[in-house]
Structure formats: structure tokens, C-alpha cells
Structure 1
Amino acid sequence: MTHRLIAFGLCWAALTAATASPLHAENLRETALVRAIKRANPAVVNIHTEKTAVDRDAIFSSGNAKPRKINGMGTGVIIDERGYIVTNYHVVAEVDLIRGTLHDGASLTARVVALDRQHDLAIIKVDASRPLQVMPAGTSSDLMLGEPVIAVGNAFGYEGTVTSGIISALARDVEVNETQSYKNLIQTDASINPGNSGGPLLNMNGEVVGINVAIRAGAQRIGFAIPIDDARQIIARLMSVEQLNQTYHGLVSKDVKKGEVRKLVVDTVQPESPAAKAGLQAGDVVVKIADRTVNDGADWELALLDRPVGETVPVVVQRGEKSETLSMALAPYLGGRSRMASEFVARANNDNSDAERFWRILGLKLAPLPPERTANVPSKYRGGLVVTDVRSDSPAATNGIKKDDILVGLRDWETLTFENVSWILNQSLPQGQNSVKFYVIRGRETLYGYIQLVNADAAAKPQ
């Protein structure tokens, strides 16, 4: 009897182990890497682009060159549920069509919101029918050599490709060519191939710690990424409500990071600004705007984006040991003229109106786009300004801008209002830029070229 009981017990234990082992094996399969990918994947966007090009050699040899379409690819990271996506500048610059494929397979047309060529970053937007999942943001301030990381992207057009590796080095400076260089990059041995550009470099928590850039052709196990802390500061500038909404808050802040903790600390408050009137003070830690948590300057700008002038929004701050809720209402942005420190800009702005300034510097007279002409503007642009006159001796005329063209962009920004154009000049002139790129709609075509700012300014001065 005893032997029988022992034998039965052994059989029962074997059966129990057999039925339990598949569950146990499944738990072993779902590693930290798998969980990180599951968490981040819904916020990764596969980007496909098209542009039209003409072979210059064919133009000179036959004089009858036909344009051809060039397809491009890249990756993006969703930073806001309204469809705002960060990617690389080189992925979406100077293309005719951008399409973003979401994690669920939906393919949507995207438009460029803002570009930063110097730092190789861009913001694009898709109009989805639902709120999109935002990529969890980590910090690059405490990355460690040897720390495991994951790259996700549209490698060679194979959407959703995942590779893994470690952080090989930090603070790398890389010069690609005479016009493009990078500072403070993360180096990894995770494979970052063409098409990965603009995608996330993840930590094992499934948080983005870098924006991938594919820049070393033929290199094996050497990839680079822009640290997310650097990228978020640029995103905050590109998504500034002053530029995108023509609204103004007057808060100057700094991002503070300690380990995994990120917070936005008020540095200064401009006098008589909405932030000053709300009672914000230097040293305050901004915790929330309405129901949105704020961890850095990008969160602050995104939380205020699309809010109209005069709308009161609650701002929760930590002041010492106390939490306070303040009320702030955005004001109209007046182009920043009273706040610009540059003497050159102050002198250039000493015109009676923006219109006179545009005529003097650009050689253009501009007017708001009439409703009946909005159909002429492709859907990837939000609008523009109509060219009503072109000064005959101006670089605008020399470079082919004509009366009745629709100006949709200058440099890396859209031109919906006079304030947009003035803001772009304010950014360009103090930097000593000799020219700015322009984009115009003529008939059904989008044309671009360059206006020589210095020459335009000199040509308009009395001799």
C-alpha cells in the first residue's frame, strides 16, 4: 500500500509539472526586452516619403530631362496624442509627400510643422481619428556604458524592425560632411540602418532615451542617437506656442533632471507677461497644466498648444513645501520685438509696419490668403500669404518669385501670418544668415529657392 501511494504521488507530481511547464516557459520568454518593445511599439511611426527630382546631367546633355520620383524612408516617435511626431530633418526635408504608418497599420498623410536642420530634427503631424499613444519619455542624463538599449525603426523599408545592443560610448561628436555635424551623440552597437533615422533608442523600461540617426554608411555595430534630453529641448523650441499659435506666456524655464526624475523649473518670468500676471515666480516647479503632467519645456509648450488667447488655464506649481494652483491666460504674440536683444533686429524693426519691413528686406508685398484661394494650397500646408507685388531690383524677383504666388514657407517654418514672417526674420538676421529658403505655390506646383537677405537689405538702403 505504501509503495502504491508513493507511486501515485510521483505520477501526480509529474502530471502537475507537465501542465505547469508551458505557463512557466511563457513567463521565461517574456523578458524585460520583450516588455520594453511592447510598451513602446504603439508610439513608433514608419515614415515613407516621395520627392520629384531631375537629373542635372540629363538637363545639360539632352535639354529634355523628365522628372523622376524618389522614394525615401525613416521612422518617427509620437510625442503628443494629437498626432505630433518627431523625426530627423533629413527624413522629411524637401519632399513632396509624407506618409506615416501607425502601429495598427493605418497609413496617414503627414505635413511638416517645424524643421531644425542644424540639429537634424523635425516635427510632422498626422490627423488621426483617435488620440494616439505617446512614447514614454526617459532621460539620457544617467545613461551608463554597457547599458542595454533597443532600436526600433523602418530599417531598409522593413517596418517595425527591432535590434538590440548596448551603449558603447557617450558624448560623441561626429562630423558627417562640411555642412552637417552632430554633438554629444550616444553611440550604440545596436544596428541602426537606413530607415531607422528618426526612430527611438529605448532603454529596458521601454522609454525613449535617444532619437536614432543613421550616418555611418558601411559601419558595422556602430550607430548613433541624439540624446533625448537634447532633443526635448529642441522640441520645446520647435513646438513653441509663439511660433505655432502666435500666443505668448512669458515664462523662461530650465529642464532639471536627477536620475529618472525630470522637472521644469521657472528660471525667469518676463514682466507684465501672462506668467507674471498669474503669479509664477523664479524657482517654482511646474507640475501640471490643466490635467496634463509637465516634466520639461516640451510638455509645457504642448500643454499650451492650440489654446486660444484669453482662455484661463490652471497651472499647478510646487513652491518650496507648498503646492499652489494659479490661473494663467495666454496673450497675443506680438513678434517679440520688445524682447529681442539684438541691435540689428532692433534697427531692422524700426519700420512703420511689418509690410514696409518685408518690402525693404525681402522685396515683397504680402497679403492674407483669400478664402477662395485656399483650394490652391496642397493639404500638407496649412495656408500662406499672397504675393501682391515684387520689387524689380530685389533678390525675390531675381530668384523667380512672382505676383500672385502663394508664399507657404520661409527657411524651416510656415508663413500663415505677418507675425510668422517677422518671427522668421528675427531668427535669421541676428545669426548672420545670408539667405533663407522660400516655398511658393504657383498654380498646381510647389516651387522653392533662396532669397539673399544681406543683398536685399543693402539694395534697399539709400546710396
Structure 2
Amino acid sequence: MPKLKLQINKNFIIFSFSLFILFACAPSYILGSQYNRENAVVKAVRMVSPAVVNISSEYEVKKYTNPFSGYGIDPFFDSFFKDFFEPGFERKQKRTSLGSGVIIDGERGLILTNEHVITKSEKITVVLKNERKFDAQIVGSDSDFDLAVLRINSNKKLSAIEMGNSDNLLIGETVIAIGNPFGFSNTVTTGVISAINRNIRTDNRIFRNFIQIDASINPGNSGGPLLNINGELIGINTAIYANAHGIGFAIPINKAKRIISDLVQYGEVIQAWIGITAENLNEKAANYLNLTEKRGVYITKVNREGPAYKKGIREGDIILSIGNKNISSREDYKAVMKNFTDGDTVKLNIWRNGKAITVMVKAKVFPIKLAEGLAYKLLGTRVENLNRSSAHKGVVIVELNRYSYLARIGARPGDIIRKIDEITVRNMNDFKKAVAKYRQKRSVVILLQRGGQGYYITVKLEHV
């Protein structure tokens, strides 16, 4: 009997010890399992999340209601009623758009986002991950690059993201898209890089050299960061393509860096100017010039005051490439030149008289004194300041080439130009700035005033 009791005690001790070991190891096992799930994506998101913000933009839209629209009156009379009844039947509505952004400078409170997130905004509110709210000011923005820099004033340093390098991206590498569309918490999407240097055409515009990923970017996530697996910023997510299903696009951060620098320093992007006009090269001309392949753009004009002329560039030269970027069209030329700013050296690879030569040209800012003459070439118009007694702001058309596009769509002397694209035109100086800024575009939107009525018209620029 004592022997049996001893055996029971021995078994009890072994069971108790085993149970102790099991419970002692359980928490370690659970913690180990959790630790194993903290992969590189989780760590990157945790590190970057405090720098991702929600951006809320308020803007006003004007809606006109025809008081006679329900009575079967011909729509032709809508403009007639608008001229006479607009003050009483105009309805102003407040709208709000939501997007994301990322803090790029915690000391100065600088935030990078898409231009379309804040365009036309009257009030911008930024919400941090910890739900702190700030009023934001626009430091600078550019619609061509779809980038904007905002500033918020905080009494302490903010968490900022670490810049990465988008020049060494790998097809198939893992990327992380983060946004904060509602101001509550961040949303995270992972995918891989599907393509680089992707060109996208949307709304009569071409966006060049984008990163393409295999994950959709929702509008509320537009402006948020695209990260590599190390949590470094390699792009800005952009929801610009409505037909994109299962794919997304981002602006490469190396492309954005130069834009950020200009926006912070000048409030706008400073376009490089070397003083040439280039046009597409057709196959017949390529054969005549003994080019082995149809590539390059044909220089049709060289401004004698420009840097290119002083370096020996002449009409008839063919630009084959700029740096290591091949040039196949005028659009290629414009896109590559956008990467340069005042003071940069542009390496032009030229074909001349059957030989390839290289010319180094130092870019400069477009001289504002040339804008007035350029305006006649692009728009076919000469303008002057309004007289001081005028209650309106703008410039008045005093001469109009009757064969110009502006004349063909109905403009006439005496009309007042109030705005060109994003630039409000109050005087001749504003007009010249607008011509200088938009000189490379195919078309601009002009607010034209005649009498008491304003009209928005799209005008093709004539690059002759």
C-alpha cells in the first residue's frame, strides 16, 4: 500500500511539473507567434503612419437656376435669362473634398500632396493621426505635375517621412500605399511595382514617367505616400485615372524633389528656358538628313538672346537626346525639359550635317520682357492695362489677328482677359507671367469678360 501511494505521488509530481512547463512556455509561444507576424510591411507602416495626414478642402460652387426652365422655354434663352436674372437666382453651395498627404519636414510643418486635392479650395484642414487639427496654407502648387506643398504651424516638431530613391526601383518589388481619407485612421494597401516610366493620358493631359502598381488608389488616398519595404518614400499616390481598376499610379519621388524645392522657394515651378522652338521630325525629313532612325525633334527657331544660341545651336539642328533620355517627339522634349530649372546644365545631343555632336547649355529663367511678343505668336493678340477709371481688373484686347484661334472662336477687341488657367490677370505684369508660365502648353483656359458677363473659353496656343 505505501508503495502504491509513493507511485501515485510520483505521477502527480511529474504531471504537475509538465503542466507548469506547459503554462510557463505558453506566453512565450504566443508572443513568438505575434513577433513572427511583424514582418517588414507591418514595421514600415508603424514607422510611417504618424507622418500620414488627412486633408479636407472646402470650396464653393455657384449654381444657376433658370426660373423659367419648367415652362418649356427654348434652352437658347438660358444665356439671356442668366444675364438678367443671375444675381437673384445664383445659388452658392459649399463642397468638401477629402484626400491624403505626408509630412516631409517636421520642423517647418511642410506637407506634400496632390494639387488636385486642394485646387480651388477656400479653406484647408489637416488632421494628424492623433486627431490634432490644423488650418493649412498653400506654400505652392503646380497642376502640370499635380503636386502641392502645404504648411501647418505646430508648437512642436512633427513626425516626418524619410525620403527614398525612385531611380533604382525594381519591377516586382513590394510597395506599400498609405492614405488617410477620413481623418480617423490610416488605410494600407500593398502590392508590387508593375511598371515604371508609365505615361497616362487623361482629361486631355499627359502625365509622364509614373510608377504603376497592381493596387487601386482610391480618391481619398490620393496624395498619400508610396513606400518601399524599408518605409522610405518613393512616390506620391495619385488617383487621376478614373478607368483604373486593380492598378494604381504614383509620382516618383525623385521627380517630385525638384518640384518641392521650387514650390517651397518660389511658390511655383520655375521652368528652364534655353531659347529654342522644336517640332516633330517626320520620316521624310529623317531620310533627307541621313538619320539611321526616325528619332529626335527639329529645331525651327533659336532666340538670339537665349543660352542655346550663345552655345552655337542653330535652326535645322536635330535634338536626338537630352542627357540619357531619348527624344522622339516634341512632347518628349517638353517633358524632359521640365526636369531642369534655372542654372541647370542641359546636355544636348545634336545631329548636324551628318554628324552627332554634344552641346552643354546652361538653362535660365524665361525673360519676362519677351512675353509680350510671344503672346502675339501664341494667342494672336496685343493687350493693354485697363484705364484707372475702370471698375474691372484685367487687360483689354486692343489688337487681334483675325486668323488666330482666339478670333475664330469669337473674341474681339475690347474684351477683357481676367484669368489665364490658374493665374488671375489684374494687369500687364500678370498677363506676361501667365504667358511665360504656360508658353509650352497646347491650350489654356481664359476667363474673358464682355460687358457684365464672363465666359470661360479654351484657347489653343499656336506654336508657329
Smaller-chain TM-score bracket: 0.5 to 0.7
In structure 2, what is the equivalent of residue 47 of structure 1?
55
2:395·2:417 contact (CA, 8 Å) conserved in 1? Answer: no
Shift of the alpha carbon at 1:114? Answer: 1.2
1:44·1:102 contact (CA, 8 Å) conserved in 2? Answer: yes
Structure 1 residue aligned with 2:175, among 130, 136, 149? 149
Shift of the alpha carbon at 1:196? Answer: 1.0
1:156·1:194 contact (CA, 8 Å) conserved in 2? Answer: no
Shift of the alpha carbon at 1:58? Answer: 4.9
C-alpha distance in 1, partners of 2:111/2:384? 32
TM-score, scaled relative to structure 1: 0.56
C-alpha distance in 2, partners of 1:388/1:218? 42
**Aligned: 1:119 with 2:141:** no
In structure 2, what is the equivalent of residue 238 of structure 1?
263
**Aligned: 1:29 with 2:37:** yes
C-alpha distance in 2, partners of 1:171/1:200? 18
Structure 1 residue aligned with 2:200, among 174, 195, 210? 174
The aligned amino acid for 1:196 is N
Structure 1: give runs of 5+ residues left out of the alignment.
247-300, 302-338, 351-359, 367-386, 402-408, 439-446, 455-463
After superposition, the C-alpha distances for 1:333-375 in whole angstroms (9 at most, x for unaligned) are: xxxxxx8575x6454699xxxxxxxxx9662699xxxxxxxxx
C-alpha distance in 2, partners of 1:139/1:86? 16
1:363·1:396 contact (CA, 8 Å) conserved in 2? Answer: no
Shift of the alpha carbon at 1:235? Answer: 1.3
After superposition, the C-alpha distances for 1:96-135 in whole angstroms (9 at most, x for unaligned) are: 2211111211121112221111111111222222222211
1:113·1:413 contact (CA, 8 Å) conserved in 2? Answer: no
C-alpha distance in 1, partners of 2:133/2:199? 36
Q: Which moves more between the two structures, 18-27 or 50-59?
A: 50-59
C-alpha distance in 2, partners of 1:24/1:363? 75
**Aligned: 1:70 with 2:95:** yes
After superposition, the C-alpha distances for 1:379-403 in whole angstroms (9 at most, x for unaligned) are: xxxxxxxx998776679994486xx
Shift of the alpha carbon at 1:9? Answer: 5.8
The aligned amino acid for 2:50 is P
After superposition, the C-alpha distances for 1:403-444 in whole angstroms (9 at most, x for unaligned) are: xxxxxx9865799xx9x9699458427547886879xxxxxx
Superposed counterparts of 1:385-400, under 5 Å: 398-399=415-416
In structure 1, what is the equivalent of residue 24 of structure 2?
16
Superposed counterparts of 1:293-332, under 5 Å: none
2:56·2:124 contact (CA, 8 Å) conserved in 1? Answer: yes
C-alpha distance in 2, partners of 1:231/1:86? 9
Shift of the alpha carbon at 1:55? Answer: 3.1
Structure 1 residues 52 and 422, CA gap change in structure 2 (3 angstroms): closer
After superposition, the C-alpha distances for 1:118-156 in whole angstroms (9 at most, x for unaligned) are: 111111222222222211111111222221111111347
**Aligned: 1:363 with 2:371:** no
C-alpha distance in 1, partners of 2:23/2:368? 82
Structure 1 residue aligned with 2:161, among 117, 135, 142? 135
Shift of the alpha carbon at 1:215? Answer: 2.6
Structure 1 residues 242 and 67, CA gap change in structure 2 (3 angstroms): closer
Structure 2 residue aligned with 1:193, among 191, 194, 218? 218
Superposed counterparts of 1:419-434, under 5 Å: 424=433, 427-428=436-437, 431=440
Q: Secondary structure at the residue paired with 1:169?
A: strand
In structure 2, what is the equivalent of residue 109 of structure 1?
135
The aligned amino acid for 1:190 is A
Structure 1 residues 450 and 151, CA gap change in structure 2 (3 angstroms): same
After superposition, the C-alpha distances for 1:67-104 in whole angstroms (9 at most, x for unaligned) are: 11222111111111212111111111112221111121
Aligned-residue CA RMSD (Å): 4.6
In structure 1, what is the equivalent of residue 239 of structure 2?
214
The aligned amino acid for 1:142 is N
The aligned amino acid for 1:46 is N
Q: Runs ≥4 in structure 1, deviation > 6 angstroms? A: 1-6, 387-392, 394-397, 432-438, 447-452
Structure 1 residues 111 and 168, CA gap change in structure 2 (3 angstroms): same
Structure 1 residues 450 and 96, CA gap change in structure 2 (3 angstroms): farther
C-alpha distance in 2, partners of 1:125/1:396? 42
Shift of the alpha carbon at 1:217? Answer: 2.7
Q: Secondary structure at the residue paired with 1:143?
A: coil
Q: Secondary structure at the residue paired with 1:173?
A: strand
Structure 1 residues 396 and 237, CA gap change in structure 2 (3 angstroms): farther
After superposition, the C-alpha distances for 1:226-267 in whole angstroms (9 at most, x for unaligned) are: 11111112212222x3558x9xxxxxxxxxxxxxxxxxxxxx
Q: Secondary structure at the residue paired with 1:236?
A: helix
C-alpha distance in 1, partners of 2:417/2:69? 24
**Aligned: 1:83 with 2:88:** no
After superposition, the C-alpha distances for 1:166-215 in whole angstroms (9 at most, x for unaligned) are: 2122221111121x221111111223111111111111111111101113
TM-score, scaled relative to structure 2: 0.56
Q: Secondary structure at the residue paired with 2:90?
A: coil
Give the count of matched residue pairs.
320
Structure 2: give runs of 5+ residues left out of the alignment.
1-5, 71-84, 271-340, 342-362, 374-381, 399-411, 448-453
Structure 1 residues 389 and 234, CA gap change in structure 2 (3 angstroms): closer
The aligned amino acid for 2:129 is H
Shift of the alpha carbon at 1:65? Answer: 3.2
Structure 1 residues 400 and 77, CA gap change in structure 2 (3 angstroms): same
Q: Which moves more between the two structures, 147-156 or 203-212?
A: 147-156
C-alpha distance in 2, partners of 1:235/1:165? 26
Sequence identity, in percent?
34
